[in-house]
Amino acid sequence: MSVCGAARCRWIQTRSAVSLLQQNRTVRRHSTGAPESNVIREKLQAFPGGSIDLQKRQESGIAVLTVNNPARMNAFSGCMMLELEQRVCELETWTEGKAVVVKGAAGNFCSGSDLNAVRAIANPQDGMRMCEFMQNTLTRLLRLPLISMALVEGRALGGGAELTTACDFRLMTSDGVIQFVHKHMGLVPGWGGAARLVGIVGSQNALKLLSGAVKLDPDCGRQMGLVDEVLHCSSGEAETLAHAEQWLGPFIKGPAPVIQAIKKVVVSGRELPLEQALKTERNVFGTVWGGPANLQALALKPKHK
Ligand SMILES: CCCC(=O)SCCNC(=O)CCNC(=O)[C@H](O)C(C)(C)COP(=O)(O)OP(=O)(O)OC[C@H]1O[C@@H](n2cnc3c(N)ncnc32)[C@H](O)[C@@H]1OP(=O)(O)O
């Protein structure tokens, strides 16, 4: 667990989820005595290039997180992996936020990990360290108290395909492709993408997508349940983003604390055993019951026709 995440993430600190965080409380140490997470951080730092950009729009409550390395089809350099963690950290504490759109720069989503970095750390130990780091970050991305959407323009390959599964929704433009190319690289997903994919499309479909390294187009993606909507727009990135934000509209209408509470109860329902999920749901309920939005609604005596 990152120092940043442990200290600042109110949501993660207060909820009672089992799994990753408890696992991470025991700080594993490398033979040098340094915590394992620092070992991989230092290695990732050695691979610069690109950036992960975050734009928080206060008026709409929508943030746009851009994987930005167009010279390499938005592949993740080591520094970008580190930056992604920082950006997720920033989003964890954005109390006014409602949603985050994850996209790639210049009309492509993401071509996975930077093959130059991969070559340099192509040993099992570093591979597993890198995966642990990315799994942790992507799990935190998926657990954000914000509704998240992957906006897939162009290609989402390898780790890029895995990144799409760390969002609540996936929208694709008609030219989009999601492909778990790992098999062609002699790999399997390692950023948590296989586990999440099984959760989204079921084990039969996940097996087909991974073992066939299937080039998934938007319509097949919809049929399989991986893709929530296909956007047919042709006049560039800005218009595509505007369409995606419009699609989010009905889901993020209302006050941020209520939207965040909804996401929290869904995350606990998805991840926790029933008794713990029910407890979390009660606790989250307590944060909105008698709150400003609730009192306002009671005063208006709405009829839900
Ligand atoms: C657990 C994580 C596992 C992983 O993510 S493993 C990585 C999986 N990804 C890949 O193998 C992608 C390999 N790249 C490709 O297949 C093709 O480049 C791709 C994305 C289909 C684009 O093809 P084209 O449109 O023909 O463009 P191109 O090949 O000329 O690429 C433009 C420049 O981008 C570079 N690039 C693309 N994907 C990269 C990557 N993942 N790492 C490092 N560099 C990458 C590519 O080398 C080329 O650079 P340059 O112009 O030759 O300097």
- 139-156 residue pLDDT tens: 999 999 999 999 999 999
50 token code pair? 């690109």
Q: How far is the CA of 71 from the centre of ligand 1 (A)?
A: 9
- Listing DSSP states for 248-299 in one string gives HHHHH-S-HHHHHHHHHHHHHHHHS-HHHHHHHHHHHHHHHTTSHHHHHHHH
202 token code pair? 């079921």
Query: Best mutation site among 68, 115, 129 for ligand 1, i.e. most ligand atoms within 8 A of its Cβ?
Result: 115
Q: How far apart are the C-alpha atoms of 109 and 151, rounded to whole Å?
A: 8
**Segment holding 147, helix H or strand E:** strand 147-152
Q: CA dist 119 to 4, 23, 133, 170, 201, Å?
A: 29, 29, 18, 30, 31
* Backbone angles phi and psi of 249, in degrees to 5: -40, -60
Q: Residue type at 49?
A: G
**Contact 104 CB / ligand 1 (< 6 Å):** no
Query: Best mutation site among 80, 111, 114 for ligand 1, i.e. most ligand atoms within 8 A of its Cβ?
Result: 111
For the cut 90, the answer to whether the pLDDT of residue 205 exceeds it is yes
pLDDT score recorded for residue 18: 35
pLDDT digits (tens, 9 = 90+) for 255-281: 999 999 999 999 999 999 999 999 999
175 token code pair? 């030219």
For the cut 80, the answer to whether the pLDDT of residue 207 exceeds it is yes
Instruction: Give the Cβ contact number of residue 157 at 10 Å.
Output: 26
Q: Is the pTM of this model over 0.95?
A: no
Q: How far is the CA of 149 from the centre of ligand 1 (A)?
A: 23
Label residue 37 by pLDDT band (50, 70, 90).
confident
Q: How far is the CA of 165 from the centre of ligand 1 (A)?
A: 20
What residue owns the CA closest to ligand 1's atom 12? 111
Q: How far is the CA of 100 from the centre of ligand 1 (A)?
A: 26
Label residue 33 by pLDDT band (50, 70, 90).
low
**Contact 73 CB / ligand 1 (< 6 Å):** yes
Q: How far apart are the C-alpha atoms of 80 and 120, rounded to whole Å?
A: 16
**Segment holding 177, helix H or strand E:** strand 177-179
Query: Best mutation site among 47, 69, 73 for ligand 1, i.e. most ligand atoms within 8 A of its Cβ?
Result: 73
